[in-house]
Amino acid sequence: MITHERLTVSGVRLLIIILVVVAAPHSRANEAAITPSDIPVEAFAALPSFSNARISPNGEKLAFFTEKNGRRNLVIQELDGENAFQVPSPAMASFRTFRWANNNYILIQSSMTLEREIFDGKTSETRWFSLSLETQEFTWLGKPKASQKELVSQSERIVDMLPDDPDHILLELDLNLDGLAEVYLTNLKEGHRRLKRHPINGIQNWYTDNNSRMRLGNGYLKSRWVVKYMQDGGFWKDLKKTEWGEKYNIEGFSSKPNTLYVRGPSQHGTMGIYELNLETEEITDTVFVNESVDINGIFENPETGRIEGIVFTNNFTRVQYISANMATIQATIDRALPRSVNTILSHVKSKDWYTILSKNDRNPGDYYIYDRPNGELMLLGNSREKIDPALMATVKPVKIPVRDGSKIPGYIVVPQGKELKNLPTIVMPHGGPFGVRDTAEWDYEAQFYSSRGYLVLKPNFRGSGGYGPAFEQAGHNQWGGLMQDDVTDATKWLITEGYSDPNRICIAGSSYGGYAAIMGVIKEPDIYRCAISVNGVMNLPKLKSGDRKSAIGGRSWTQRMGLEGSKDAEVSPYHRAKDINVPVLLMSSVDDARVPWEMSQDMHKRLRKLNKDSTFVKITDGTHHMVTAQSRLTALTEAAQFLNKHIGQNLEETRSGDITN
């Protein structure tokens, strides 16, 4: 180990140490980059080279994700880098997350897109595997029995890690593929299972209390949201029939008997976290409320599943700890790593060590070990070794006036070294749209565009989550309406303030953001010079019809789609193609299980038939969320060339290697 720096923070002496680990060099490998534009597109498109770092419960081993051949691989090694071995992603799948089950086993979740006849199309599916560190062998925990080989659960979910039983977990499966979840006591070594919870009509998700007893279930029964709670006598109660059950959502079980953490409205119009007594059905305590933003939910210890804090997002996602001890630890770390958002990821009880992720708007993240007894911080690695935070753009929160006199929040990403004046601009509405929002955190797309000299605007239009129920509900049934108007008003604000060159503005987005990009140039032909859609919704009637037929809960959420008082075709890009008079770039992944890639292809064909300027790029993999480096590289490279052609005007062309579409 190499001593790097000593710090004294409020009387706490902290020693910064660098641990050199395999596949995660501590130094930024981008010395050749002098300006942001010198950073190659591949550096932005790459998956993190070091992420999800977790230490084994005994503090002897480190596991983390790294990139190899554009996909996530898992590395397990000693803390000093010795005895390392690498686990590649399965064919046609991607690793999503992992957790230490005990010192001998790691649980790994993978995701994939499959096309199954029973679902009549593509589906996004998850699998959980246990990995023996002794034999380096995998066991598929949700594998069906030989007699059930055709019945493979679409989704596998860990309900409880069973901290008092290190050899088993509670695993939720739907082996009958009837949309109802069963829970099994599952052995980590052999994968043997025993049924612990029979399905109940309408329940797709099960939850346990602090004693690992299944006490709560929720899900959709056609279009109705169902929540059921098991009382002490073993009887199930429908909480949607109680007065408080209509007002509050259950977040988890308190350590107090018969007490729940619930999420509900505060006096500020935001969503807070409260304690509710199940016997009296009354709120007994306010746990945490923020006047400006909603509480996202609760923070669970990844090893035990026990609730330790409250999660909320202002400009960054943070944790407010319930425990005074954890709050003290957080404060110590924050003093040692100022001007960053520092998140505690895991705890090694035997050594009193904590794994920390530290990041901000310019830094995608650094991983540390905090050795509390010795007051030491040990740097494990940088999440993106080819990204130098000193060359990244600053993200500034803004309040944007809109036409009804109110203001919406958003963020502008300002190119480094550029005056905030008359800049070529990309407006980037987010996906979702409901319950989703943009933040100030480092974002590979926005930072790439900024490195090429573009001002980027990320507006949180009404319908976005995090700003109270009224803000989100204002976007319901406002596709092509109020949500689109907010994006338009945000763009006009940039022009009024003098930030943007009015002749060089493009609108770009993914999923719903792709829809908003194309609807933007339909409704505002004089504002935007071009549009980019990635996996965007081009045919609204077709998407709604498919969701209603095939998706659990689809009948419910499709009721919020479309524009109130208008037919769906009136706010559907495919049906409004004749109104597009600027160049558009349409990109889609063939393994997208959320929005069929053919939507973009059909849109392109329709535009070309109408003699419109349209470019279509079919991306071979990546899923709806562009989870591979190659899919991101294709999208960024194509977008950069398109933007340079239509709004770049003398901007330096992007540097990139050869790519295959």
Token pair of 307 as six digits: 């609730």
pLDDT at 20: 40
Token pair of 489 as six digits: 């008003």
pLDDT at 615: 97
Residues 6+ apart with CB under 8 A from 114: 122, 123, 125
pLDDT (tens digit per residue) in 272-300: 999 998 888 899 999 999 999 999 988 87
pLDDT (tens digit per residue) in 303-314: 666 788 899 999
pTM for the whole thing?
0.88
pLDDT at 144: 83
**CB neighbour class for 425 (10 Å; exposed up to 12, middle 13-18, buried from 19):** buried
pLDDT at 649: 59
- On average, the pLDDT of the chain sits at 87
Arithmetic mean of pLDDT, 254-268: 89
The pLDDT-based confidence of 33 (bands split at 50, 70, 90) is: low
Tell me if residue 611 falls in helix, strand or coil. Answer: coil
> CB neighbours (10 Å) of residue 241?
9
Residues 6+ apart with CB under 8 A from 534: 508, 509, 510, 511, 513, 514, 587, 588, 626, 635
Residues 6+ apart with CB under 8 A from 362: 389, 390, 392, 393, 394, 395, 442
Element (H, E) at 221: strand 214-221
User: What's the rounded Cα separation, in Å, for the pair 93 and 109?
Assistant: 10
pLDDT at 255: 83
Q: Is the pLDDT of residue 531 over 60?
A: yes
Q: How far is CA 15 from CA 5, 20, 55, 231, 369, in A?
A: 6, 16, 19, 51, 11
User: What's the rounded Cα separation, in Å, for the pair 479 and 470?
Assistant: 17
Q: Which residue has the tokens 């203001």?
A: 407
Answer yes or no: are the C-beta atoms of 181 and 172 closer than 8 Å: yes
Tell me if residue 296 falls in helix, strand or coil. Answer: strand
Torsional sign, CA 204, 210, 214, 216: negative
pLDDT (tens digit per residue) in 218-233: 888 877 788 888 877 7
Token pair of 171 as six digits: 């695993």
Arithmetic mean of pLDDT, 460-466: 96
Strand partners, 46: none
User: What's the rounded Cα separation, in Å, for the pair 227 and 243?
Assistant: 13
pLDDT at 513: 96
Token pair of 308 as six digits: 């330790």
Answer yes or no: are the C-beta atoms of 264 and 249 closer than 8 Å: yes
Q: How far is CA 5 from CA 14, 28, 319, 380, in A?
A: 9, 17, 27, 15
Q: Is the pLDDT of residue 653 over 50?
A: no
Q: Is the pLDDT of residue 10 over 50?
A: no
pLDDT at 28: 52
Q: Look at 93 and 109; give whichever has higher pLDDT.
A: 109
Q: Look at 421 and 592; give whichever has higher pLDDT.
A: 421
Q: How far is CA 255 from CA 40, 216, 273, 449, in A?
A: 51, 16, 15, 47
Q: How far is CA 489 from CA 390, 420, 432, 460, 538, in A?
A: 32, 19, 20, 12, 23
The pLDDT-based confidence of 550 (bands split at 50, 70, 90) is: low
CATH H-level, domain 393-648: superfamily = Alpha/Beta hydrolase fold, catalytic domain (3.40.50.1820)
At 182, which amino acid appears? E
Q: Is the pLDDT of residue 44 over 60?
A: yes
User: What's the rounded Cα separation, in Å, for the pair 457 and 648?
Assistant: 16
Q: Is the pLDDT of residue 253 over 60?
A: yes
Domain boundaries, the chain: 1-101+319-390, 393-648
Nearest to 643 by CA among 448, 492, 489: 448
pLDDT (tens digit per residue) in 81-105: 889 999 988 877 889 899 999 999 9
Arithmetic mean of pLDDT, 196-202: 87
DSSP 305-372: --EEEEEEESSSEEEEESSHHHHHHHHHHHHHSTTSEEEEEEEETTTTEEEEEEE-SS---EEEEEET
Q: Is the pLDDT of residue 591 over 90?
A: no
Query: What percent of the chain stands above pLDDT 70?
Result: 89
The rounded Cα 442 to chain-centroid distance in angstroms is 13
Arithmetic mean of pLDDT, 362-385: 94
User: What's the rounded Cα separation, in Å, for the pair 172 and 155?
Assistant: 8
pLDDT at 22: 41
Arithmetic mean of pLDDT, 176-203: 89
Q: In what order do the strands lie in the sheet with 105-116?
A: 94-100, 105-116, 121-132, 138-140
| Strands 259-265 vs 249-253: parallel, antiparallel or unpaired | antiparallel
Strand partners, 221: 224
646 DSSP 8-state letter: I
Q: Is the pLDDT of residue 65 over 50?
A: yes
> CB neighbours (10 Å) of residue 559?
13
Q: Is the pLDDT of residue 13 over 60?
A: no
User: What's the rounded Cα separation, in Å, for the pair 612 and 217?
Assistant: 51
User: What's the rounded Cα separation, in Å, for the pair 143 and 510?
Assistant: 34
The pLDDT-based confidence of 652 (bands split at 50, 70, 90) is: very low
The backbone torsions φ and ψ at residue 335, rounded to the nearest 5 degrees and listed phi first, read: -70, -35
User: What's the rounded Cα separation, in Å, for the pair 132 and 106?
Assistant: 7
645 DSSP 8-state letter: I
First-to-last CA distance in the chain? 44
Q: Is the pLDDT of residue 459 over 50?
A: yes
Answer yes or no: are the C-beta atoms of 283 and 276 closer than 8 Å: yes
Q: Is the pLDDT of residue 563 over 50?
A: yes
